[in-house]
Amino acid sequence: MRTMLIALLLIIGGCASAPSQTGNVCAVFDQKSGFINNWYRDAKRAERMYGVPVPILMATINTESSFKARARPPRKKLLGVIPWKRQSTAYGYSQALNGTWSEYQTKTGRFGARRADFGDAVQFVAWYHAQSNRRNGIALNDMYNLYLAYYSGHGGYSRGAWRNSSIAKNGASRAAGMAQKYANQMRACGMT
C-alpha cells in the first residue's frame, strides 16, 4: 500500500513539474509522455480539432509560461517594497486572462477546463488561434501574427495596438523562431 501511495505521488508530482529541456520539443514530449499525462497526444488532439500546428501551440505555451502549470505575472510593489496586486489575471500554461478563459469555457462548453492542466491549456491556445484566423484572417501557420493577436487580444490586434509595443513584437519574434525550431525538431525525431 505504501509503495502504491509513493508511486501515485510521484505520478501526480511529475504532472505539475515543468519539463527541463524546453528548447527541444521532442525532449519535452519525451518528459511528458506518461499514460495519464501525455502532452504530445494532447497537442495533436488540439491540432486536429482546430487546425493549428503543434509547433505553434507549443511555442505559444513556452513563450507565455515556460511550460509552468501555475505561472502568474509578477506582483506590483506598493511603496516600492510591499507585494501588491498582480499586473493581470493571466494564469497557467496559456496565461489566459480570467475573462478570456470564461469566454472559452462558455463558447466550447468545456466548463471543467483548468488553466493549470496542459491538455485544457493547449486546447485553449488552439481555440484562440483559430479565433484569430476567423476574426483577423491570420493564417494558422503564421506564428508571428498569431502571437501578436494572442498578446494584444483580437480587438487590439485589429486596431494595431501591438505596433508601438516592443514587448509584443519581441515576443512574437521569439515565438516565431521557436515554432520554426520546434517544427524542425519534430521532423528530425519523427513526430510530424
Tens digits of residue pLDDT in 67-82: 999 987 665 666 666 6
pLDDT of residue 85: 60
What pLDDT tens digit does each residue of the chain (192 aa) get? 544 433 343 444 444 577 777 889 999 999 988 767 799 999 999 999 999 999 999 999 999 999 999 987 665 666 666 665 657 789 999 999 999 999 999 999 999 999 999 999 999 999 999 999 999 999 999 999 999 999 999 999 999 999 999 999 999 999 999 999 999 999 999 887
Kindly list the domain boundaries of the chain, sorted by start residue: 2-188
Instruction: List % helix, strand, coil for the chain (3-state, nearest 5).
Output: 60, 5, 30
pLDDT of residue 79: 66
Rounded to whole angstroms, how far apart are CA atoms 2 and 26?
34
Look up residue 75 and give its DSSP letter.
E
Model-level pTM?
A: 0.87
Q: Is 85 helix (H, G, I), strand (E, B) or coil?
A: strand
Looking at domain 2-188, its CATH architecture is: Orthogonal Bundle (1.10)
Rounded to whole angstroms, how far apart are CA atoms 101 and 189?
33
The answer to whether 186 and 55 are in contact (CB under 8 A) is yes
Looking at this protein, which amino acid is placed at residue 72? R
Rounded to whole angstroms, how far apart are CA atoms 130 and 135?
9
Neighbour tally for 95: CB within 10 Å: 24
Query: Cell numbers 520554426 correspond to what residue?
Result: 180
Q: Which residues contact 46 (CB under 8 A, 6 or more apart)?
A: 52, 54, 57, 122, 123, 125, 126
